[in-house]
Chains A and B, each alone.
Chain A
């Protein structure tokens, strides 16, 4: 019992150790306090209840109650009885906590602050894992399985953080798991007998056994390999675009709002998270005097490292409350001033979405500043939640001809230096060189790169990104040509930079399609990323390489949608007045918006490829067909065998003719009868195996038949049948003259019917779909093949060893 108690404690400690990786998700250690309380209470309850020697399920049930109580106490809603007894109000509170946690997961980047919902979730998770580990270790006595829930905890930070998780928490979790395994094994060995050193001396309870040294070394080597190997493998900790994938997260956490009040939003994580969300919800309502507004913008990623594009902290101390610098008037640029009112419905950022280029803001307090470089309105203290504000802005329309006049920047220009820095990737440089070959002005180069991402060139919009093997995410994207706005915008920025032109990635909302009057409602599906390129004299000019058909994009004269028909860049404008449903279409949304979608496809004509046909119905049908076929294979095999064995099937041999032309000798007839009897008997034996009746190979047919009669309690008819089958087989095997009977098939049927009525429906089902006779044959065949392979390998190896052995060369020895 004391050993059992010890194992319980070890299981609890192992759970806590395994939970340590969560520390890289949370900003503080408050979660750990909750987790310790939870695990301590659960362990205490388990110990206490077990000491009462109750039934095996009672401690588990009690720990579940304990879990509920701890959650109730730690996350009080105020509705509890005596602070302890949960009420329906508590359950509602829990539900709202979970909903909040879900929202936080979508919106926050790691490390997350101590939000109550997230703490609730982590405490609940740790508690459940503690219970499961306890169950596996103490009740089921399968501590190896306890590794699965521990792994589940570990997978949380791995999934959330795109960069590699520090190896320390992993090592801690692994150590906990190994500790648990070792404790259980020591326990098992001690129950078996004394532990000893191998040279006769007994071991103390805590002394490590020298006999287990190999196991310890193996465990240590395993952990070491798991830690060291990923460091040595190139590309496994993510290149540029890895962080743009659907599960991407800004691991470093220095998103826009590190300086804010803790609520940082990782732009990439938010973007992919929202685009992949099952739910569509309004985020921002904008009222603008501009009839065809461009993109609402709230973030910039301009710092590119090998780890990818990332946002920098906005800088600049110009208060956003007053007037803001207006863009300079250049030839070929049309400037129009508009006014916009924004109401944030659900967006929690430390910057405010605005149209470019804001010149004056209203209803904002002094917490908000303007970053001239990034053209962002940001705050270090406040956030955008439920903000309402308005601003004037100047919208610039660039004419291609004017942009063409822009010259390349001087190499020592700070903008040129800062925004063209890009890690060298050979493939990318080659691609850029081939795209921009023959283009002289920066604008032409950018335009060429922009058109490079067209559907004609094979690029395909999809929220599912494909991984690659090149080790570099940008090369993967350029190879696979499948992605969404994150990939498009970042790749274009990268290529433009590689061409020596300053570029950055901007975040915000596409124009959307939900318009009523001059009010635009933007949902999470309208979240978008695009590329901005810097031109001398003109400043930052937006280019959107993402096919506008998928993101309700706004076309521009200087950057026509590369996937739209080339000859009609201007006609795309009216198209956007169509009621296009919001957001990138996914399989779920497609059904709801089938009508308009088709309109759009027709409208786009041949130039724009229709949305890639959703392949999942085809796949799922295929998989289902395959699964059904797989399920039916053993049954079909069995039916085939049964058919082949039907007695009397061979009666089609030519009948003996009196004329003596073909005389069927007695031997032939006897052979026939013999084979019929054998077939019938084989079928009976297989049927017995299928229906899980024991068949003893050391028994004679007579004995097997008698056993069957007794164990299946056959009725009189079936008894006669079984005896007949047994006698027929017996005579066929051992007598000079086999038994000739036309009734074998009938007997077989009678016996099978009788047997199948005796067994449970589950056995019957299994006999049809997973007949043991067929499966065991296959199993035996596979085993035999494997044995043969293994034997031949051993032979080969021996031959090798012999041919390589230097002993062969020694005098007096023959190879």
Chain B
């Protein structure tokens, strides 16, 4: 993923209290709509601060679109929504040059991606052809139409929702596009209390419509600048590399994670650390992010598919087994992951 902007364009990093206040406000705002999903909401925010794109995958009706919309509305910036349908065309996404009768020239009509936050609903209902239109914008943050390249605004984030591929009327996302999404999160069903609260709150009207922005694009740019400052020690970087490498070497996987995944893993780790008020990344952050960041990029072997091993489980296993590197030589116990018998 190309870097969005230089330091100057992003603005000054924020001092920790202010950072905390802003992010807490955003989270609280979203939670007015999505009850009882703090971890998911924070992860979504972390992906945004990590300059990534978010893929929300779950069964219909659990609030995927609501989360996307709430996140978009909480920030006072341009938001566009694309409803992906099977007959959607690439030009609907990127824009199209139309002939202007008055000027007797072709004029570029920007598509839906020209916004700070693009909500792609039901993204896997569009054909792979249309999906491909997103590849350039998501990775390079620009659109090339008829040989002319148009840059996109910053912050730029695609928040896409999709149904699991087993659902009818869906196409699987191409690997290239899956790899462009920083994280895939699942909403999951709300617990009983949250669902009850939802009944109360959503009974009359859609609360998303009442949501007021608590931040703006400039602030988000500064938040991003702050996240970039978070310290990642050598050991943590090493751990990120090890994690991704482990997916490539796992006998259960046909395709491991890409170097882009390493980059995004560490970047998201920085964002999570910053959201937790730390100025340094912990292996714990990477561990908590491994499944959302890595699981949707990898392809299991036929055997693991047959034995119904989900990619989530495979990644979780890798995390459970991989030793955490320390920034000094201390491994007198060999390479075993577990020592001590636990017998007392």
Interface: B152 (CB within 8 A): no
B341 and A692 contacting across the interface, CB-CB below 8 Å: yes
B344 and A734 contacting across the interface, CB-CB below 8 Å: no
B334 and A780 contacting across the interface, CB-CB below 8 Å: yes
Interface: A2 (CB within 8 A): no
Task: Decide yes or no: A698 and B344 within 8 Å by CB, A736-B279, A736-B280 being known contacts.
Answer: no
B344 and A696 contacting across the interface, CB-CB below 8 Å: no
Residue in chain A with minimal CB distance to B324? A700
Q: How far is the CA of A734 from the CA of B240 in the complex (A)?
A: 13
Task: Decide yes or no: A692 and B344 within 8 Å by CB, A682-B330, A736-B280 being known contacts.
Answer: yes
Q: How far is the CA of A702 from the CA of B283 in the complex (A)?
A: 10
In the complex, per-residue mask of B229-242: 1 if CB is within 8 Å of any chain A CB, else 0: 00101011000000
Interface: B338 (CB within 8 A): yes
Residues of A contacting B: mostly: helix
B339 and A692 contacting across the interface, CB-CB below 8 Å: no
B235 and A695 contacting across the interface, CB-CB below 8 Å: no
Please, which residues of chain A bring their CB within 8 A of the CB of B337? 696-698
Selected from B235, B330, B336, the residue in CB contact (under 8 A) with A734 is B235
B332 and A777 contacting across the interface, CB-CB below 8 Å: yes
Task: Decide yes or no: A700 and B333 within 8 Å by CB, A689-B339, A694-B341, A695-B339 being known contacts.
Answer: no
Interface: B104 (CB within 8 A): no
Interface: A693 (CB within 8 A): yes
Interface: B259 (CB within 8 A): no
A736 and B344 contacting across the interface, CB-CB below 8 Å: no
Interface: B323 (CB within 8 A): yes
Question: B226-285: which residues lie under 8 A (CB-CB) from chain A?
Answer: 231, 233, 235-236, 278-284
State which of B115-123, B209-217, B314-322 sits at the interface with chain A.
Answer: B314-322
Question: A596-631: which residues lie under 8 A (CB-CB) from chain B?
Answer: none
Interface: B328 (CB within 8 A): yes
Interface: B308 (CB within 8 A): no
Q: How far is the CA of A694 from the CA of B334 in the complex (A)?
A: 15
Q: How far is the CA of A688 from the CA of B328 in the complex (A)?
A: 20
A697 and B339 contacting across the interface, CB-CB below 8 Å: yes
Task: Decide yes or no: A678 and B328 within 8 Å by CB, A688-B340, A691-B344 being known contacts.
Answer: yes
A697 and B231 contacting across the interface, CB-CB below 8 Å: no
Interface: A221 (CB within 8 A): no
Interface: A703 (CB within 8 A): yes
In the complex, per-residue mask of B293-333: 1 if CB is within 8 Å of any chain A CB, else 0: 00000000000000000000000000111111011101011
In the complex, per-residue mask of A696-722: 1 if CB is within 8 Å of any chain B CB, else 0: 111110110000000000000000000
Interface: B15 (CB within 8 A): no
Task: Decide yes or no: A735 and B233 within 8 Å by CB, A682-B330, A697-B336, A780-B334 being known contacts.
Answer: yes
Please, which residues of chain B bring their CB within 8 A of the CB of A781? 332
How near does chain A come to B144, taking the closest CB pair, in angstroms? 41
A759 and B282 contacting across the interface, CB-CB below 8 Å: no
Selected from A733, A735, A763, A776, the residue in CB contact (under 8 A) with B339 is A776
Please, which residues of chain B bring their CB within 8 A of the CB of A733? 233, 235, 326-327
Residue in chain A with minimal CB distance to B323? A697
Interface: A162 (CB within 8 A): no
B324 and A697 contacting across the interface, CB-CB below 8 Å: yes
How near does chain B come to A708, taking the closest CB pair, in angstroms? 11
A700 and B283 contacting across the interface, CB-CB below 8 Å: yes
Q: How far is the CA of A695 from the CA of B340 in the complex (A)?
A: 6
How near does chain A come to B306, taking the closest CB pair, in angstroms? 24
Interface: A271 (CB within 8 A): no
B283 and A692 contacting across the interface, CB-CB below 8 Å: no
Residue in chain A with minimal CB distance to B321? A698
B342 and A693 contacting across the interface, CB-CB below 8 Å: yes
Write 24 A-B pairs (CB below 8 A) sorted by A numbering.
A688-B340, A689-B339, A693-B340, A693-B344, A694-B339, A694-B342, A696-B337, A697-B324, A697-B336, A697-B338, A697-B339, A698-B337, A700-B324, A702-B282, A734-B235, A734-B283, A735-B278, A735-B279, A736-B279, A758-B344, A759-B344, A772-B340, A776-B333, A780-B332
**Across chains A and B, which 8 residue pairs bring their CB atoms closest together, nearest first?**
A735-B280, A694-B342, A697-B323, A734-B233, A694-B340, A700-B283, A777-B332, A736-B231
Residues of B within 8 A of A (CB): 231, 233, 235-236, 278-284, 287, 319-324, 326-328, 330, 332-334, 336-344
A-B contact sample (6 more), CB < 8 A, given A735-B278, A736-B231? A689-B340, A698-B320, A735-B280, A780-B332, A780-B334, A783-B334
